Chain A
Amino acid sequence: MRHKLPEVSARERDGDPVRLHVVTGKGGTGKTTLAAALALALAAGGGRVLLVEVEGRQGIAQLFGTPPLPYEERPVADTPGGGRVSALAVDAEAALLEYLEIFYGMRRAGQALTRFGAVDFATTIAPGMRDVLLTGKATEAVRRRVGDRRRGGRDTPAAPHVYDAVVLDAPPTGRVAQFLNVNAEVAGLARVGPIRNHADKVMETIRSPRTVVHFVTLLEEMPVQETLDGVAEVRAVGLRAGSVLVNMVRAEHVAAADLDAAAAGALDLGALERGAKAAGLDRPDAVARGLAAEMADHARRVRAEAEVRERLAGIDLPRYELPLLAPGVDRAGLDTLAGRLRAQGAV
């Protein structure tokens, strides 16, 4: 990924290697938050970015403090330099109906399908169909160019892309390879026919060097293990891993020697007590004992974090660290995270 300069036109920016950023992570790691921060980082300096969510959770609306997103691309944030992040909550049923209308002009048939429960059938049951519809929507936005008469129409190379980048808030790490491996998903289903062709087109975009998968993790064992597994799985199906985003990293206030002492239970209680007294705290002896216990706890956690950090270092991907923010991340928090992504060269 390169820095985008604001004065570069969208057309010239077409040379930028990555256009679809898929963000995955174990539940609870802040995947949606970092997907939004990445979108803001990409839009900083004038980019047009689409942020897509597919899990029906309305996580984007919550983050940006907007009403629930409809099945429609809506601007959610402007960035300095004229950039803009739009967002879309993809719904598989709506995507299927839209797909039928676009490719077959079958709005009425679509309605009949709804009545017969066929939409339920196709999107919930037909394996892989749901994922193809969801990824199909995101990849269509990647390919879409200014002036396309209809969505999903031909990829006219002359016009600039509508979006400089698309960020997909994807399903969790454990499912992401399957989700993206569209070909395999529909292989058992449609050997020929329009869904097959549609899937091939989706797969072409997902397999292209312009698509990468980012893995959000915490400095904890389980998310790190899932990241290691996820990177291997994504690569096994021929897709590109982009980076590891280590989220909620705490600032370290304590000197290494003090941490060692704390871990060994050999902290200087007298020094703590004198400090507590100097700061005018009540019961400095009790405060000192409590502080020592907390520091010992902290030292154990730091050690555990160092271990998982070492395992992460074994992955041959760029690693970016994002700070732990006060909870209830809002736009200011997202901007902070976006700034950190840019400062580390992630975008």
Chain B
Amino acid sequence: MSAGAPDGAAPAPFDVGALLADRATRIVVCCGSGGVGKTTTAAALGVRAAELGRDPVVITVDPARRLAQAMGLTELDNTPRPVPLPGAPGRLHAMMLDMKRTFDETVEEHADPERARQILANPFYQALSSSFSGTQEYMAMEKLGQLRHSGDWDLIIVDTPPSRSALDFLDAPERLGRFLDGRLIRFLSAPARSGAFRLLGAGVGMVTSVVSKIVGAQALRDVQSFVSAFDAVFGGFQERAEATYRLLQAPGTAFVVVAAPEDDALREASFFVDRLRADRMPLAGIVLNRVHGTAVPGLGADAAAAAARALEDTGEHPLAAAALRLHTERARVHEREARLRDAFTATHPEVPAAEVPARPEDVHDLVGLAEIGRGLTG
């Protein structure tokens, strides 16, 4: 890695194979914006890691159906299932995160049975655990923490949820924590005539009255009973969230930013790289998915277009003319992607990069995943 590489220099190669083969690597977090092939990359890394003799488990969140089927996953399931990989020295496991069940299990673990029962039955909890926008991210991290803590897994590869923004999953635990520990919720949970309310006077009364106006009195009562039941387990939650956050910063964890050679995806990747650095998270490198190459490297788009035009003008060699038109499109895509990649490299010269060539068809079997994995690791 050389800081300050000149513009247009090839990025430092990202040795994904060495990362996966290194037994000190215990966690790989794949992150990036939606639609860049994050889940496919996570799965391909899992397959490749098993081929390299590791025993990885891949945690996926909401994979495409056929990709899930390729790994033998048929439903949300919180138990890693073995994925048969004939000939691979390592054993691959995969699971699809069940967000609600993970939340339930965490509550059950931290609360006594009676309290856990109260929490699980609370309508506000049910809504929170199934649709809070940060719950999926929070639970992916929680599951990661659990698997790591169990010590049963040689290598854990996590596919982060398809968030609105790639950064959400870093913030979600804190946001949930802030909410559950927030001032408002303390006030809401204080009995009406308690000291807290008297001390704080009319301000709080007004707030609760407004909240009650907005959401309705019943909902407010649900929130209050949730909070008083949850209060006892909250400390445990918060500790766990903090522990997982530290785990992400620890040696043995590697972040892999997944992107496609497109404007939006690279912009997100750029934000992500900066954010990981700011949070002191160990970034291993970037994987550029779906990179378009050309089979006639010496022939640029403009030259190909001119050649095609010349042939079309003569009316002869229609096959070659069509092939040259096709090549023109490919070369244009290739040239644009190269420009975008170079721009990214110029801004982040220290970030190692690996590329996955675009494939004519979608990947939906283990053979395809293995090919991608091998392509990434040389």
Across the interface, which residues of B come within 8 angstroms of A120, CB to CB?
A: 178-179, 182
- What is the size category of the interface that chain B forms with chain A? 35 or more
| A282 CB within 8 Å of chain B | yes
Contact A118 B35 (CB under 8 A): no
A244: shortest Cβ distance to chain B, in Å? 18
| B364 CB within 8 Å of chain A | yes
Contact A268 B319 (CB under 8 A): yes
Across the interface, which residues of B come within 8 angstroms of A222, CB to CB?
A: 64, 362
A270: shortest Cβ distance to chain B, in Å? 10
Contact B216 A189 (CB under 8 A): yes
Chain A at the B interface: mostly helix, strand, loop or mixed? helix
| A57 CB within 8 Å of chain B | yes
Q: Using a CB-CB cutoff of 8 Å, which residues 264-279 of chain A contact chain B?
A: 267-268, 271-272, 274-276, 278-279
Contact A272 B361 (CB under 8 A): no
Q: Using a CB-CB cutoff of 8 Å, which residues 208-223 of chain B contact chain A?
A: 210-219
| A70 CB within 8 Å of chain B | no
Please, how many residues of chain A have a CB less than 8 angstroms from a CB on the other chain?
Answer: 80
Of B128, B214, B262, B317, most A-chain CB atoms within 10 Å: B214
Contact B183 A127 (CB under 8 A): no
Contact A291 B320 (CB under 8 A): yes
A1-9, A106-114, A158-166: which one contacts chain B? A106-114
Contact B299 A287 (CB under 8 A): yes
Contact B361 A118 (CB under 8 A): no
| B203 CB within 8 Å of chain A | yes
Contact B214 A279 (CB under 8 A): no
Across the interface, which residues of A come within 8 angstroms of B217, CB to CB?
A: 192-193
Of A104, A112, A193, A274, most B-chain CB atoms within 10 Å: A193
Given contacts A189-B219, A275-B311, A294-B295, contact A304 B183 (CB under 8 A): no
Contact B210 A297 (CB under 8 A): no
> Contact mask B307-342 → A, CB, 8 Å, 1/0?
110110010111111111111011010001000000
Given contacts A117-B182, A191-B219, contact A290 B362 (CB under 8 A): no
Q: Using a CB-CB cutoff of 8 Å, which residues 279-296 of chain B contact chain A?
A: 294-296
Across the interface, which residues of A come within 8 angstroms of B162, CB to CB?
A: 27, 172, 174
> Contact mask A111-154 → B, CB, 8 Å, 1/0?
01100111011101111111000000000000000000000000
Complex Cα gap A189–B226 (Å): 13
Q: Using a CB-CB cutoff of 8 Å, which residues 233-267 of chain A contact chain B?
A: 250, 253-255, 258, 267
Contact B326 A253 (CB under 8 A): yes
B120: shortest Cβ distance to chain A, in Å? 14
**CB contact between B326 and one of A124, A221, A294, A304 (< 8 Å): that residue:** A294
28 contacts between A and B (CB under 8 A): A27-B162, A28-B260, A56-B165, A104-B213, A109-B206, A116-B207, A117-B182, A118-B207, A120-B182, A121-B182, A124-B175, A127-B132, A172-B162, A191-B218, A193-B212, A221-B362, A253-B322, A254-B326, A275-B316, A275-B320, A280-B307, A291-B295, A291-B320, A294-B326, A294-B330, A297-B360, A300-B361, A327-B262
Interface contacts beyond A195-B216, A291-B327: sample of 18 additional A-B pairs, CB < 8 Å, sorted by A: A104-B213, A112-B206, A118-B207, A124-B179, A127-B127, A128-B131, A188-B126, A190-B218, A191-B218, A221-B64, A222-B64, A225-B65, A271-B317, A271-B320, A278-B316, A290-B295, A294-B295, A301-B361
